[in-house]
Structure 1
Amino acid sequence: MSSWFSSSTPTGPNIHPVQTTFSDPNALFGPLTAKDLEWNCAGGINTETQTWYATLKDGSIVMCQIIHSSIGLLWPTIQVTFRHANPKTGKNTWKSVTVSNFKVQADKRSMKSDQITVTMDPTSSSKYTIEAKYDDEVQISLQYERLAEGFKVGAGPKGGFTYFGQLSGKAAPTDGSPDYAGGADGYAIHRFWPRCAVTGIMRVGNDVIDLEGARGVFIHAIQGIRPNILAASWNFANFQTVEKEGEEAVSLIMMEFTTTPAYGSKVINVGSVVVGDKLVAVTAGGSGVAGGSNVTHQDPVKDAETGYDAPSSLKFCWEGAKLEGEGSNLKAVTEGNSKVHAVFTEDLLVAKEGYKTKGLVEKVDVLGQIPYLIKKFVNYAAGTKPFIYTWLNPVKASITLGTGSETKTLDVDGYVFTEATMIS
């Protein structure tokens, strides 16, 4: 889940989108280092999330998210959230619990608290174990094992970063640490494990659910800037096939945000294509680049409940250089069979009256969900009423590998969890 708010107050002269910093379409894959996955837990104004999604064999979705929020000199607030949604049965369980005794462990990638423990496997750095008790109704014991290579957009200490404000004149770290100080006003960054095997069990009420065979994604995101001035809107897609093997084992991930007018209303879009459980493309799109990845809200309809123009359907497109190789040594193919395209359209609208849509998980009133101190901090952003629309639907995706006579097209069925965040 993304953050969230907007203001018309200009606070920074510049924006440096990640897709223009790393403008070479053949150099978008940035391998993750151990330090990329470390908890930053920065002071000042900072919202850091680690989020694990799982798509189950029945098409339902599970989400576990840890939110670490700092506001100036105040103590950080830490929440852990949970969602299990199954459109077929209509069941939708949501939990949000304040975390106590949060402590990052010696490896800086694991953490413990009274409510949740997350452990990175010290032998492989490709597996998380998550143990959590939200309350007497919801408990989880899950394992996420990375299948496809993790990534950020662009390699090195500045990889993945969109910087706000004037660029720092200081040299970037040389020890593999991310360059969190690169922008005078702050930054936003997303790092991904785009395809994971998920196992374990969870208890929801009286139901014990086995996640064997589920497929998931892990996202580490940090917003080191006042959340009310970062973005005017967000879009997110998590498409996964389940019970598919070979080339039909597909994941499509996209994260997009549009900056506030104070930062030029720029679109920043990052994404990935996984085929056969291998990362075959990293994409970047938005302002200042041609092609790449993008999302379109098609035939918007006024939603009287929220006041926003909401989509009748969502079209997601990916275009990028084909990656080949193993592990962190993936390289773009620059000749011949060199392109990857992917697309799907998620049809939503059932009836314009009342804006009734298929697969609606929830319309989230963001100000009603965030920690109290942040809500108090951003409540002055007059005229904003942020809502996150979330949907979960079966869709058919089309992936094209290669160009010319070597083109191969795959049409695969899967489930997509989408978010569209309306802010201003």
Structure 2
Amino acid sequence: MLKWIQGGISAVTGIAEPEYGKEYIHTVTERLEGKQPYREATRDDFCWKAPEFTNVETATFYFSDAKSGITGFAQIIHSNVLGMRTAAQFTFRIFNAKNPEDLNLWTSTKLNNFRVDGPNFYADDLSVELSEDDKTFHFVSNVCEQSKIDIYFTRCTPAVKAGDDPTTYYGDNLEEPWGSMSHQFWPRNIVHGTMNLKIEVPQEDDDEEDQSSSGDENDDGKEEQEQEQEGEGDNEEQEDEEQEEDDEEESSGSDYDSDSDYDDDYEEIEKVYRDETIEFLEEEPSYGMFVKAFQGMKPHHAAKAWNFCVTHSDKHSVVLMEFITPKSYGSTKVSVGIVTSKDEVLAVCLDNDYQHLNAEVDEVGWEVPKNIKVCFNGYSTKLTDEQIADKESLTDKDKVTAVLEGPFTNLVERVDVMGEVPGFVKNIVSGVAGTKPFIYQYADENFTLQVNNSKKEDCFGWAEVTFISKSDTVTEESYDEK
């Protein structure tokens, strides 16, 4: 049984690997230590890679409007499993941080006839295109009736990557790594366009009324039912066995999402929707952040936890993308932060501290923070490698710091990453590998940002903490990432 789990389930979810050690991971932050990490990313840096081995590649466009409280993201996911199956998905989240009960919509739609063309992505009823001047992305999607979008992201600052090669590599050979991770950013953007939504309207439950009206009928039919049951003695044992199998199947599938197939005996309730249009005007634009990410290995082998935040004020923007590897790669932290003004990149920060404050264990079993404090520490993008290396000559004006603080009280969603995996698989993987991936997403207008000891600014924040595996167990076998 264990061999089957290791050889089969690991191909989908990944299990623990041997303890290779830190010499088997080559991080972008380590290569840039004592150097100027800021590089302006070019058009080529945002081209889709689409390799023929296991990978997940994403383009995610975050948007937020502090005035209305509307925030969320539109995302393309392009993935390949073991070089055998390529798939693409459009995912969309929109949330009203001022009135969460009024708007919290999530859609996830499979894409058909998709293709990549440099930085552009196309599918039936969907396109993501970068303008010729490399300043604007135009994202149009009509693949889902609930979330039709037509939005523009226009850069306020240069695009950003950490170093000439922003990639972290896994393995003992940099020329032939067995895994990799990289990110490129548009940290501050003006967003305008429209989103046409269909929001499900909750319906009253008529179950109690139906049960009341059918009570007499049930009493009248009781005697007839008992008589029928007397004649079913020969088949009773067989039916009990069949029912037991059905119960097991139903139990094992209890973790499927709302798109799962339902039993024919259940009458489908017709859903009612209300139309809503969200419009970000050019004269009153919202702010946004775009990140292109590439993960050239199975997620559970690449990282055991993630921290992420993006925040915009009238004067500044900050972004932090951070992951911590499993013990197999020395529990290594790779953290890249960006601090910008209205139109300039002030610093790319590699010395960051994403603090989980007042954490409490929830019903899932993770220690979830109630607040965060994120400290960015970097050097001005105007400094050279030689100037940064000569630390004794640096002054306070050469350094860039930022402190972001915010509450984790406005939960957008607790995402069960394995929600679409059948229950029995989920239980096996969780029990053997300690794998229990959940993403906690928060959005709140009560964040504060302080840059270079200036006055604190109120800002609108989106933040995430992701827990993947708490297990430090090391097995004797590994899984070949290639």
Structure 1 length-normalised TM:
0.81
Q: Which residue of 2 aligns with 1:270?
A: 336
Secondary structure of the residue aligned to 1:166 is coil
Distance in 2 of aligned mates of 1:268 and 1:223:
14
For 2:94, the aligned partner's letter is: H
Match of 2:180 in 1: 187
Post-superposition shift, 1:135? Answer: 2.0
* Structure with greater helix share of residues: 2
Is 1:98 aligned to residue 110 of structure 2? yes
Are 2:225 and 1:165 aligned? no
Q: State how far apart, in whole Å, the 1-side matches of 2:467 and 2:14 are.
A: 10
Look up the SS of the partner of 1:20 in the other structure: helix
Cα RMSD between the aligned structures? Answer: 2.7
The equivalences for 1:234-273 within 5 A come to 234-241=306-313, 244=314, 248=315, 250-273=316-339
- Write out aligned runs for 1:140-159 (5 A): 140-155=149-164, 159=165
Return the offset for 1:133: 1.4
Q: Report the residue type matching 1:93 in the other structure.
A: L
Q: Mark the CA change 1:392 to 1:252 in structure 2 (over 3 Å): closer, same or farther.
A: same
Aligned to 2:403: 343
The answer for unaligned runs of 5 or more in structure 2 is 1-11, 199-274, 470-482
Residues 45-56 of structure 1 mapped to structure 2, 5 A cutoff: 45-56=54-65
Selected match of 2:18 from 10, 14, 33: 10
> Closer, same or farther in 2 for the Cα pair 1:324/1:95, shift >3 Å?
same
Q: Give secondary structure in 1 for the equivalent of 2:418.
A: helix
Answering whether residue 443 of structure 2 is matched by residue 409 of structure 1, we say: no
1:130 corresponds, among 99, 123, 139, to: 139
CA distance in 2, matches of 1:346, 1:270: 19
Does residue 79 in structure 1 map to residue 138 in structure 2? no
1 CA distance for matches of 2:386 and 2:148?
41
Which residue is 1:393 aligned to?
Answer: 444
Per the TM alignment, residue 37 of structure 1 is displaced from its structure 2 partner at its CA by 0.7
Q: Distance in 2 between matches of 1:370 and 1:236?
A: 25
**Corresponding residue number in structure 1 for 2:247:** none
Q: Which residue among 277, 293, 301 is the counterpart of 1:221?
A: 293
Deviations 1:221-271 (A, max 9, x none): 001112221111001001012xx3xxx2x1110011100111111111001
Contact 2:16 2:433 in 1 (8 A): no
Aligned length: 367
Given the alignment, which residue of 185, 189, 194 partners 1:196? Answer: 189
| Contact 2:71–2:97 (Cα < 8 Å) also in 1 | no
Question: Which residue of structure 2 aligns with residue 300 of structure 1?
Answer: 359
**Which secondary structure does the structure 1 equivalent of 2:180 belong to?**
strand
Shift of 1:314: 1.0
| SS across alignment from 1:44 | coil
Higher relative contact order (CA 8 A, sep 6+): 2
Counterparts in 2 of 1:115 and 1:10: CA distance versus 1, 3 Å: farther
Partners of 1:332 and 1:409 in 2: CA distance? 25
The residue aligned with 1:314 is 372
Letter in 2 for 1:232: K
Decide whether aligned partners of structure 1 residues 88 and 322 sit closer, same or farther in structure 2, where only a CA change above 3 A counts.
same
- CA pair 115-379 structure 1, distance change in 2 beyond 3 A: farther
> How much has 1:379 moved relative to structure 2?
8.1
Sequence identity percentage:
30
Structure number with greater Rg is 2
Helix, strand or coil at the partner of 2:45: helix
Residue 64 of structure 1 aligns with an amino acid whose one-letter code is A
Q: 1:162 to 1:380 in 2, by over 3 A?
A: farther
* Alpha-carbon shift at residue 335 of structure 1 (Å): 4.5
Query: Does structure 1 retain, via aligned residues, the 8 Å contact 2:303–2:325?
Result: yes
SS at structure 2 position matched to 1:409? coil
Where structure 1 has 5 or more consecutive residues not aligned to the other structure, the ranges are 171-180, 285-291, 349-357, 401-407
Structure 2: which amino acid aligns with 1:226? K
Mapped contact 1:239–1:417 kept (Cα < 8 A):
yes
Query: Partner of 1:293: helix, strand, or coil?
Result: strand
Within 1, Cα distance between the matches of 2:323 and 2:420?
20
Read off the aligned partner of 1:60 and give its amino acid letter: I
Letter aligned with residue 218 of structure 1: F
From the superposition, tell whether residues 375 and 144 of structure 1 become closer, same or farther in structure 2 (CA, over 3 Å): farther
- The answer to whether the 8 Å contact 1:280/1:340 transfers is yes
Q: Does 1:208 align with 2:277?
A: yes
Cα deviation for residue 276 of structure 1 reads 2.4
After superposition, the Cα gap between the structure-2 partners of 1:377 and 1:95, relative to the gap in structure 1 and judged at 3 Å, is: farther
* Contact kept in structure 2, 1:396 and 1:412, CA below 8 Å: yes
Q: 1:5 to 1:240 in 2, by over 3 A?
A: farther
- Paired residue type of 2:414: K
The CA distance in 2 between the partners of 1:48 and 1:389, in whole Å, is 21
- 8 Å CA contact 1:321–1:338 kept in 2: the answer is yes
